Amino acid sequence: MTSSFILASASPRREQLLRETGLRFDVVPSDVNEDFRRGEVPVEYVERLSREKCHAVSRTMPNAWVLGADTIVLVGSEVLGKPRSREEARKMLMKLSGREHRVITGFAIENKSSRVMVCGAVESTVVFKTIEKDELEWYISTPEPYDKAGGYAVQGMAGYFVREIHGSYSNVVGLPLTEVVTALKNVGAVTF
């Protein structure tokens, strides 16, 4: 497989997932405002942010294929962001404990000079076991929860909390590989 594109993301998890497929790409993180807009639903939000991340990089590199993505975690209708403190991580994980939640990742692929923009979103459902108090305190004392939506890494130590996943595992990590690589192939950014 050959490719040459730009990942517009600072996420080490997205980079690692893509590298493990054998894809070649550069990483150029984009800096966009991640606030929800009034009336915006979660799928619209992640797709919009993905497009904005692409646009931010495409402006300076119009001939490149650019991939942007954004992931959110929802419990009911509540969006869980990245915890900024131990207390926020504790509260988030207590909300996830013993419950089902959704992980939605939006992605966009753009080539500005070709006027191509493709975007989509993938949803997975995750069910956590009931997290015991000692397990919770152990986990939030590690660095793992603090740069991840929902305060956990399914591919890390928090894998222990996951009872079931329905849908794409790589989506829960941060990038739905099947859908993204297929889209990259369909627009000609990746060849086999």
Q: Which domains does the chain have, with CATH numbers?
A: 2-191 (3.90.950.10)
Give the whole-angstrom CA distance, residue 158 versus residue 135.
10
Catalytic residues: 70
| Residue corresponding to tokens 């692929």 | 109
Average pLDDT over every residue of 86-101:
97
| Residue 31: per-residue pLDDT | 85
CB atoms near residue 22 (< 10 Å): 9
| Percent of the chain at pLDDT exceeding 90 | 85
Give the distance between the most distant pair of CA atoms in the chain: 54
CB atoms near residue 127 (< 10 Å): 15
| Residue 2: per-residue pLDDT | 45
Least confident of 110-119, 126-135, 183-192: 183-192
- pTM of the entire structure? 0.92
Average pLDDT over every residue of 102-106:
97
Residue 172 pLDDT exceeds 90: yes
| Residue 192: per-residue pLDDT | 77
Q: Using one digit for the tens of pLDDT, what is the confidence trace for 17-61?
A: 999 999 989 999 998 888 888 999 999 999 999 999 999 999 999
- Per the model's pLDDT, the better-predicted residue between 10 and 151 turns out to be 151
Give the whole-angstrom CA distance, residue 107 versus residue 129.
29
At 190, is the pLDDT very low, low, confident or very high (cuts 50, 70, 90)? confident
Average model confidence (pLDDT) across the chain: 94
Give the whole-angstrom CA distance, residue 2 versus residue 23.
7
Output DSSP code: residue 161.
Answer: G
Q: 156-180 in b/e burial notation, b at 16+ Cβ within 10 A?
A: eebeebbeeeeebebbbbbbbbebb
At 10, is the pLDDT very low, low, confident or very high (cuts 50, 70, 90)? confident
Q: Residue 87 is which amino acid?
A: E
Single out the residue of 2, 42, 41 nearest to residue 21, CA to CA.
2
Give the whole-angstrom CA distance, residue 144 versus residue 173.
13
